[in-house]
Amino acid sequence: MTTFTSMIPNGEVLRSTAAAVPMFSQRPFGASTISEPAALRRHPHIVRFAEVEADLDLLIDRAIVAIADGEPVEDDILGHYVHIASLVRAVSFREGKLLEQTVERLAKANPNVVVLTQSLKLPLVKAALEAVSGNDWQSLDGVKLDCEAPAKGSYTPDLILVNRARHTAYILDLKRSLASYGDTSRLEELKLKMMASAMVLPDWLYKNQKRLMVDTVEVAIVDGASRPSDHANGIWALSEIDDLLEIDGVATCMAELRLRFGRRVQQLLEVEASKALGIMAAVVADAGSASTMPGKPLIALNGSSRAYEEEQAMAAQDEDDGHYDLGCFDDDQDEEPEPARIRVGFARRPRRH
């Protein structure tokens, strides 16, 4: 078995030659037939957005409905803007799920690829964790561990792709953006879990997925924002996902999906922002009318009308009004305090006297 962070597969690039390869490569996809110049192809399978548009639009609709249906909890700090904050949090979660569902759908264009999405709790075997923590990842090539060995928790990948033609499995973790992982240790912790899971995945697939056998396991963290990739450390841009699925056109479909999803999300945010601003405008109008009523003092919404120098002078007067009692610091306080019995425990209400 081979385990390593995912690199670009050595997939054959189809080139047109006068003798052996026709000018156009054709294969059926559903009810349609695709024609593409072979010289422009990287992989033997291809998908176009027009053919999956209806399915992907349906996935977007479901994600938008789920985002809009969320019930925000009242927040004293956010006030009328709590709905906007709730939408933003929901978008972060739903976009990740949308990417997973889209990859699963597009992978159908390659009949050799099986996508696993259900019951993917992989055990974090203690021996695997120790192995990846204390050794270089490349030196663990060929090591396979029992998935039923003693474990310390589990890891649930977003997707597991199995290429049956290559006998290769990919553990994928899809992130809408890796920007928040830049200066933290969370990314290294994630890679550690993924690599430890890779060492038990062949045994896990054989025992839990109808004797599915692989001899190579690769891990990849896919960045939905398509920032610069680092294949040596397992970081892949979403724009490179064609090479993982061995299907041309997947990255183009994903880019169009994110564009359409972004438009729908921004429409939701604009509606909620208009509502929040409308409420605030009404509150300000009510406050303005109340301040002009007889007997009501005017409220300085922009702070005090006093000048900065006046504020400083008043603060100085307040400080001079008091005096410091230095007599409270006696010599006796320099002595060592007597040991005291300290009580610890959970916080409780103070007893009434």
* Residues 6 or more apart whose Cβ sits within 8 Å of residue 104: 115, 117, 159
pLDDT of residue 203 exceeding 90: yes
pLDDT at 10: 42
pLDDT band for position 302 (50/70/90)? very low
For residue 188, the tally of other CB atoms under 10 A from its CB is 11
What average pLDDT score do residues 77-103 get?
90
pLDDT of residue 336 exceeding 90: no
pLDDT band for position 181 (50/70/90)? confident
Query: Which alpha helices (H) appear in the chain, and where do they start and end?
Result: 49-68, 82-106, 126-134, 186-208, 241-245, 250-291, 308-321
Residue with tokens 């593409």: 36
pLDDT digits (tens, 9 = 90+) for 12-42: 333 333 333 333 333 333 333 344 555 457 8
Lowest mean pLDDT among 254-263, 271-280, 330-339: 330-339
Of how many residues is the chain composed?
A: 353
For residue 80, the tally of other CB atoms under 10 A from its CB is 15
pLDDT at 328: 54
pLDDT at 42: 83
pLDDT at 254: 96
Q: What is the dihedral of CA 225, 228, 230, 234, to 10 degrees?
A: 10
pLDDT band for position 325 (50/70/90)? low
Q: Could you tell me how far CA 167 lies from the centroid of its own chain?
A: 29
Tokens of 214: 């692989």
Tokens of 271: 């509606």
| β-pairing verdict for 247-248 and 235-237 | unpaired
Question: Directed axis angle between helix 82-106 and helix 49-68, to 10°?
Answer: 150
With a pLDDT cut of 70, the percent of the chain lying above it is 69
pLDDT of residue 190 exceeding 80: yes
pLDDT at 185: 86
pLDDT of residue 58 exceeding 80: yes
How distant, in Å, are the alpha carbons of 16, 158, 172, 224 from that of 117?
Answer: 37, 7, 11, 18
The partner residues of 42 in beta bridges, in order of sequence, read: none
Give the residue, 295 or 227, on which the prediction is more confident. Answer: 227
Integer Cα distance of 245 and 289 in angstroms: 64
Task: Return the half-sphere exposure (C-beta side, CA atoms, 13 A cut-off) of residue 242.
Answer: 20
Q: Find the distance separating the first CA and the last CA of the chain, reported in whole Å.
A: 72
pLDDT of residue 147 exceeding 60: yes
The three-class DSSP label of residue 255 is helix
Integer Cα distance of 30 and 161 in angstroms: 21
What average pLDDT score do residues 57-76 get?
90
pLDDT band for position 163 (50/70/90)? very high
Integer Cα distance of 256 and 60 in angstroms: 11
- The pLDDT mean for the chain works out to 79
How distant, in Å, are the alpha carbons of 99, 121, 171, 180, 227 from that of 221?
Answer: 13, 17, 8, 14, 12
pLDDT band for position 137 (50/70/90)? confident
Residue 210 backbone phi and psi in degrees, to 5:
55, 50
Q: What proportions of the chain, in percent to the nearest 5, are helix, strand and coil?
A: 45, 15, 35
The partner residues of 155 in beta bridges, in order of sequence, read: 122
